[in-house]
């Protein structure tokens, strides 16, 4: 893996540049992405329309009537010259409550069986570490979090579910995530989170941003319901027929 001390900046469209920080996503790369995004937002207001951070890059959209690729590239190079892991922000720590159980997590048993662990051990491993927010995509508020302990990593379902419930906490390979709304999905569900992951009525609209760190905390069924959580077990069994 290579982390670029001087990020590579390439043309990504007639009104876009993309900044590459590494050839692989990892915690250090995510920290640099987060640091760079903060620097750009703080120092280059008026030079861009939108910033879209991802695993190891940032897409910078700009107004062609205000400046061109060359001008923006020079501004970005000058600003990002002194990026350093030593000064990179580790982001905010966000704690998300999760009701872990076979009732709320229909794939817990399969993960435990594959890992030759008890269900309680799987739950303990999942909430034992902090996860970096690598990217937000697929749906508004869907944060890709890594990396899951290799002992409980699990491939995507062969047959995706037609409906994954809102708030489902799930695992796919070495990543974990919370589904912000009901949607199809093939990740392995291990619990439910009652926290809104995306709401246009809230400011900010999402509780996490790229570069933040997430810590999961187990709660009881009663606490889950008290926090606004809803159980709908029928959704867990709905699968896409292939």
pLDDT, one tens digit per residue, over 136-173 is 887 889 999 999 999 999 999 999 999 999 999 999 99
- The residues near 33 (Cβ < 8 Å, ≥ 6 apart) are 21, 53, 54, 55, 56, 57, 58, 210, 211
- What is the spatial distance between Cα 129 and Cα 139, in angstroms, rounded to a whole number? 25
Q: Which residue has the higher pLDDT, 31 or 147?
A: 147
Percentage of the chain lying above the pLDDT 70 cut: 91
| Residue range 193-203: mean pLDDT, rounded | 92
The whole model's pTM is what? 0.78
pLDDT at 73: 94
87 band by pLDDT with thresholds 50, 70 and 90:
low
| Residue range 88-93: mean pLDDT, rounded | 72
Of the candidates 183, 180, 214, the one whose C-alpha atom is nearest the C-alpha of residue 199 is 180
**Above 90 in pLDDT, residue 194?**
yes
Strand 213-218 to strand 93-100: parallel, antiparallel, or no bridges (unpaired)? parallel
- The CATH number given to 3-80 is 3.30.1360.40
DSSP notation for 67-84? --HHHHHHHHHHHHTT--
205: its two tokens: 């609209």
Domain 93-236 = CATH 2.40.100.10: yes
Distances (CA, A) of 38 to 41, 94, 131, 231: 5, 18, 20, 38
145: its two tokens: 């979090």
Per residue in 107-142, pLDDT (tens digit) is 999 999 999 999 999 999 999 999 999 888 878 899
Q: Which of 11-15, 17-21, 79-83, 111-115 has the lowest mean pLDDT?
A: 79-83
pLDDT at 217: 98
Domain borders along the chain are: 3-80, 93-236
């Amino acid at each position: 893996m290579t982390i670029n001390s001087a990020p590579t900046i390439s043309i990504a469209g007639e009104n876009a540049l993309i900044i590459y920080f590494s050839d692989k996503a990892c915690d250090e790369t995510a920290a640099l992405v987060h640091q760079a995004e903060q620097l750009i937002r703080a120092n280059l207001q008026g030079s861009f329309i939108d910033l879209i951070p991802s695993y190891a890059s940032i897409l910078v959209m700009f107004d062609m009537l205000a400046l061109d690729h060359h001008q923006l590239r020079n501004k970005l190079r000058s600003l990002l010259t002194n990026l350093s892991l030593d000064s990179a922000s580790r982001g905010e720590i966000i704690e998300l409550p999760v009701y872990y159980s076979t009732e709320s997590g229909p794939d817990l048993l399969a993960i435990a069986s594959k890992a030759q662990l008890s269900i309680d051990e799987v739950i303990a491993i999942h909430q034992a570490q902090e996860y970096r927010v690598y990217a937000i995509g697929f749906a508004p508020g869907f944060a890709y979090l890594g990396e899951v302990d290799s002992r409980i990593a699990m491939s995507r379902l062969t047959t995706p579910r037609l409906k994954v419930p809102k708030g489902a906490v799930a695992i796919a390979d070495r990543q974990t995530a919370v589904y912000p709304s009901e949607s199809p999905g093939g990740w392995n569900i291990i619990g439910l989170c009652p926290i809104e992951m995306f709401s246009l009525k809230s400011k900010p609209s999402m509780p996490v941003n790229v570069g933040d760190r997430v810590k999961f905390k187990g709660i009881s069924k009663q606490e889950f319901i008290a926090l606004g959580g809803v159980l709908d077990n029928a959704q867990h069994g709905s699968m896409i027929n292939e």
